[in-house]
């Protein structure tokens, strides 16, 4: 059974007066969309309101997003100053983001840097990766390495160099290594919880106010395959 985040079960990885970092569950949406489902941003607001007994509206800024079927680290700003500084930091790629992905078809090379050109299709909310530059494409770059072999799958650790829409999913699909459960990008069947085996594992960034380097690590979901990853 799929469990979504609530104000009472939030997986909080870091919190101070300026920001709050959550380990997002599969199925949580980062912010409101056309589904009308309660987004994680509103869940965190409810948590803050309750914990600190805040009257009136709670400020919470969405710094970045994770796709609904993925899990892992997501950062929210608790003040407008923190939000503007974090937005700038993420925009300039001053952050270090590392993901884990479980794939059935392990790439031929155990480590490689993938440079592709992505074209976003807003109609079906996908991005298509191309080997060469095409009209309206944006360059996408990542480095992966194989960190573990499971019985029928491989675990890739991925460092992002750019932050494009569905980048990891589209790029791995192009090299024939679709992420487990990712029907949108070529995997043959869905996961029971509707999620995919892509997890935002590590994040390193400069604190927007104190300027100290914050390093966050998030455990993957408690699930049969993820439980095997060391």
Residue 67 annotated to the active site:
yes
User: In DSSP terms, which residues pair with 179 in a beta bridge?
Assistant: 103
Query: Where does the chain have alpha helices with state H?
Result: 40-51, 80-91, 167-174
Nearest to 216 by CA among 64, 109, 68, 88: 64
Q: Is 197 helix (H, G, I), strand (E, B) or coil?
A: coil
- Parallel/antiparallel/unpaired status of strands 61-62 and 126-130: unpaired
Q: Which of 28, 67, 112, 188 is catalytic?
A: 67
Distance spanning both ends of the chain, measured CA to CA:
24
* DSSP percent split of the chain into helix, strand, coil, nearest 5: 15, 35, 50
On whether the CB atoms of residues 220 and 71 are closer than 8 A, the answer is: yes
Which residues belong to the active site? 67
């Amino acid at each position: 059974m799929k469990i979504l985040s609530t104000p009472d079960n939030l997986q909080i990885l870091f919190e101070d007066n300026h920001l709050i970092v959550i380990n997002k569950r599969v199925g949580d949406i980062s912010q409101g969309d056309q589904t009308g489902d309660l987004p994680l941003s509103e869940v965190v607001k409810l948590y803050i309101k309750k914990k600190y007994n805040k009257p009136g509206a709670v400020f919470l800024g969405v710094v970045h997003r994770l796709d609904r079927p993925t899990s892992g680290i997501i950062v929210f700003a608790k003040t407008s100053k923190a939000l503007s500084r974090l937005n700038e930091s993420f925009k300039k790629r001053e952050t270090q983001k590392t993901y884990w992905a479980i794939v059935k078809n392990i790439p031929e090379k155990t480590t490689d840097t993938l440079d592709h050109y992505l074209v976003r299709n807003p109609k079906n909310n996908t991005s298509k990766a191309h080997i060469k530059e095409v009209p309206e494409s944006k360059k996408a770059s990542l480095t992966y390495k194989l960190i573990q072999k499971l019985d029928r799958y491989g675990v890739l650790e991925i460092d992002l160099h750019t932050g494009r829409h569905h980048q990891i999913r589209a790029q791995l699909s192009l090299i024939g290594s679709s992420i487990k459960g990712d029907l949108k990008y070529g995997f043959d069947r869905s996961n029971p919880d509707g999620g995919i085996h892509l997890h935002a594992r590590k994040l390193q960034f400069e604190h927007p106010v104190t300027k100290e380097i914050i390093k966050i690590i998030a455990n993957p979901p408690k699930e049969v395959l993820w439980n095997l990853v060391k």
